Amino acid sequence: MNVYISATLRGFFGKKNKFNIEAENVRGVLNWLTDEYPDSKKILFDEANHLRSFIQIYVGDINKTDEIGWSDPLPSEKEIYLIPAIAGGSPNNSIISDERSKAITLDDADIERFEKHLMLRDIGVKGQKRIRAAKVVVIGAGALGSPVIQYLAAAGVGTIKVVDYDVVALDNLQSQVLHTSRDLKRPKVASARDKVRNIDKKIDFQPENSKLDADNATELIDGYDLVIDCTDNYKSRYLINDACALLGIPLVFGAIYQYEGQVGIFNINGGSCYRCAFPAPPPAGLVPTCSEGGSISPLPGIVGSIQANEALKLIIGIGEHLSGKLLTVDSLYLHTKILKVERNHKCPLCGDTPTIVQVEDFDYDDFCGLKESEGEILVEGFTAEEFAEKLEKHHPMTIVDVREPHERAILRFPNAVVIPIGQLARRKGELDPEIDTVFLCKEGKRSILAIQTLREAGYTGALYNLKGGLDSLKDIIFSHEGAWL
């Protein structure tokens, strides 16, 4: 069975983090360890040969620290963990070259600021110089970007470029802890710049207030050591992955939805890319983004912190990282799992015969299902202003709300018929083909899917989408309300 050694104890076990040991019980495991590594006995046991009180032993998730249970037979395929209480010069596989790190100097203020790093044997002065020499691009200054940017700055990363074109909105403050009420309506990159300057004025912070697209992706990340994907949509994920793979830049990926998160590292040392894990995204509108489906407030802090940790390990050149792996985190049920992501030899980007060779030549809108295929009937729609005018004039129409119940609990649209997308085909008889039917969702994407679903079911009436969804109506004032919808 596998026996895992905490980082604090590895110095007594040849710096190894894991052993595969044949033993019938916990006592047999401890005997094997102390026989193979005699120096470990003094850290595990006191003078009376009792386990020291700061050591905990787990078999799976069962605490077996008490010696009474050390002779119990071990369950098959269970893992054992030796975990101590924690009070609070690096290898050579860093993504930062020695030449660049040697050019960095640390002054007295740096020594004091990064004292906790310098005390760690695996980081030390050499590792901290690598951190200061690193140039990192963070794409997205929202929920995931908030912890990533702040922890990179606190760690002393020398150059941080942040790419984001959005402004701070009130509903961002629930999870985007980089921003405060004073930042409302400011560009997120401006807010991020102020926070980084308050952390460490020596950092070269590069705000890029622009939207990442196929035309500028390569230019924005070229020449940097590492890219961290903190975006919230499928289109950006594939765009970022392709640009990184083509330029040979490692990518730290992160994603969140409701209570779950994912972290992985792609495009490094001939390993897999994001397309190997997910060859194609779901159809547009089928799976809500985190902006549509929501997420619990601390979740981006958990996932973003792991992203920052993985980034620092790559920069310093320490530990075991998530290259070719996908970590899943379920914060609701406290479950984590690491899945292996093999390189797909048929991958169009990193496979044996790649067909994607230039970022700008790939049609991401078509790939993500955001563009109608040739011969497909275009989805007609109303702008927020056109829709408001029809409401004001009492234009005859059926309004169908396809949002989730928890979304409707936040904002209910008056007189709307509630029909989930999965029920549209069998409930099409509830719609009157003689009058217009308008579909509503949060951002105007799921409603497009709803219209396509009805068309495939043979519905012949006029179908319209509210462009931009209910979000587009936030600034519309109706004459009979005198306030926002």
The tens digit of pLDDT for each residue in 143-182 reads 999 999 999 999 999 999 999 999 999 989 999 999 999 9
Contact call for residues 13 and 40 (beta carbons, < 8 A):
yes
Mind listing the pLDDT tens digit for each residue in 79-120? 888 877 654 444 458 999 999 999 999 988 999 999 999 988
CA dist., res. 165 & res. 233, Å (int): 14
pTM tops 0.85, yes or no: no
Quote the mean pLDDT of the chain.
Answer: 86
Tell me, what's the pLDDT at 374?
46
Tell me, what's the pLDDT at 287?
52
Judged against a pLDDT cut of 60, whether residue 188 lies above it is answered with: yes
CA dist., res. 96 & res. 443, Å (int): 41
Place of tokens 């308050």: 198
Task: Please tell me the total number of residues recorded for the chain in this structure.
Answer: 485
pLDDT band for position 267 (cuts 50, 70, 90): very high
CA dist., res. 435 & res. 399, Å (int): 11
Q: What is the DSSP string of 285-304?
A: TTS--HHHH-B-TTHHHHHH
Fill in the amino acid letter for 114: F
Please give the average per-residue pLDDT across 433-448, as a whole number. 88
Q: Which residue ranges form the domains of the chain, and what is each CATH number? A: 2-84 (3.10.20.30), 134-367 (3.40.50.720), 381-473 (3.40.250.10)
Tell me, what's the pLDDT at 482?
38
Tell me, what's the pLDDT at 377?
54
Judged against a pLDDT cut of 60, whether residue 225 lies above it is answered with: yes
Please give the average per-residue pLDDT across 66-84, as a whole number. 84
Tell me, what's the pLDDT at 223?
95
For residue 399, give the nearest of 407, 390, 49, 334 by alpha carbon: 390
Please give the average per-residue pLDDT across 378-393, as a whole number. 87
Mind listing the pLDDT tens digit for each residue in 358-383? 886 555 556 555 555 444 457 788 89
Tell me, what's the pLDDT at 365?
55
Judged against a pLDDT cut of 90, whether residue 184 lies above it is answered with: yes
Please report, rounded to a whole number, the percentage of residues in the chain having pLDDT higher than 70.
88
| Beta strand ranges found along 344-451 (DSSP E) | 381-382, 397-401, 417-418, 436-440
